[in-house]
Chain A
Amino acid sequence: MALVVNVEEIISNAIGGNRRSLSKLLTIIESGKSIPTNNLGAWTLGVTGPPGVGKSTLIGKMIIEWISRGEKVAVLAVDPSSPKSGGALLGDRMRMAISDANDLVFVRSLATRNHPGGLTSFLAPMISLLSQCGWTRIIIETVGSGQSEIRIVAFADRVLLVEGPDRGDIIQAEKAGIIELADIIAINKSDLPSAQLAADSLRNSLSLATETAIEVCLVSAHLGDGVAELVESIELIKTDSNRDTIRFRERLLSAWDSRLISHPQFNEIIRALSAGTITLDEALEQIS
């Protein structure tokens, strides 16, 4: 089987531009094996937002813009696994039509699976690997609906929040705390009449906060309007230290979680807790 082949050889092939080797290495990382990678300052963007706002379609259009600027774009598209069957339906790449034919684009769909510690423990090595293989723009896409998704985008150095023209979505994002992480917000579907209103009211609500202003862009992934401007704004993002702090907080929490869950006595301690033989404080004592 391919997996027993010398990993270092596969790595050097992948760095040499062999897509199959890169693809196999991502599988190896996802299976929980660690491979030697070094992070040489990868350029990463997290893209998140509620379901159906057009994240994948917008990324598809942004890819075209980046390619015209001479970049090589890799996308890690994350979708949830079914907690019942463990299976997953990964449909993000169908919205990025260009992804299937161009040598300057690499799209990999990832299911969250029921990994101990979640997907987050694999994101850092995957990003390093992609960067080492010459991908200059690395995008992590995830549905922004909960804490685990916030943790996924927190692995990117800049975050784009995509919203629909429906104000209700924005309230949801505010509740989820994603707005705090965003460096820039795009209101998609600007071809619909309510988009301008949504952008105005969002700008209004953001201006109530005294911290640095977050740019709100209007785009239409469908028509391509505003995409070049959005990419330009993303390129110019100077992330402020507040958001950096939040990001590193989330990364540390994920790392802590996965260390906790992979603790050899984890299940044993849970059983003891549910049997009532130890208290939570005692459990913490045992783990640390």
Chain B
Amino acid sequence: MGMRIVIAKPGLDGHDRGAKVIARALRDAGHEVIYTGLRRNPAEIVRTVLDEDATGLGLSTLSGAHDVLIPKICKLLRSEGMNDVIVFAGGIIPDYDRDELFSQGLRAIFGPGTQTKEIINFLQDVNSRKENGEPVGVGEELGWHW
């Protein structure tokens, strides 16, 4: 079952080859992908998720600002009442920053070398968890991540 997923590039980061590859792979896996384009701020990204009624949000960041931007986006989603949105990230995110991001409600982080198939598997897993009523959203109970 296809999902509606926003793929976003937060902050001052001009590299979107990765985001485009992911967008394409998700489309080929049957999902509807809305790509935001480059250099969006957290409020713009959250507005896009809201207007598009997306189930998932994938954030691609290679600029090193992930530890500021991703928590901001997660908080904004919660304050807008979008607790059920599934947030995942990819790009250059060092291991030592990851636990903090998971504690913000992020459910997966994909680093360089990840096969697109893995991301699709993650979404399938998330979907079946959601159907079973397990917490997967950004504002839902923490504990599980990919």
Contacts and interface: CB of A to CB of B under 8 A. Distances in A.
A19 B27 CA distance: 26
Interface string A82-106: 1011111111011101011100001
A24 B82 CA distance: 12
A27 B52 CA distance: 9
B70 to A, nearest CB: 18
A95 B35 CA distance: 10
A86 B36 contact: no
A67 to B, nearest CB: 15
Contacts of B23: 89
Contacts of A20: 50, 80-82
A23 interface: yes
Contacts of A109: 32, 34, 52
A100 B31 contact: no
Chain B interface size range: 20 to 34
A87 B53 contact: no
A107 B54 CA distance: 13
Per DSSP, chain A at the interface is mixed
A85 B57 CA distance: 20
A111 interface: yes
Interface in A106-125: 106-109, 111
Interface in B1-60: 2, 23-24, 26-37, 40-41, 43-45, 47-48, 50-53
Interface of A: 2, 19-20, 23-24, 26-27, 81-82, 84-91, 93-95, 97, 99-101, 106-109, 111
Considering the complex of A and B, which 3 residue pairs feature the smallest CB-CB distances, nearest first?
A94-B37, A100-B44, A87-B27
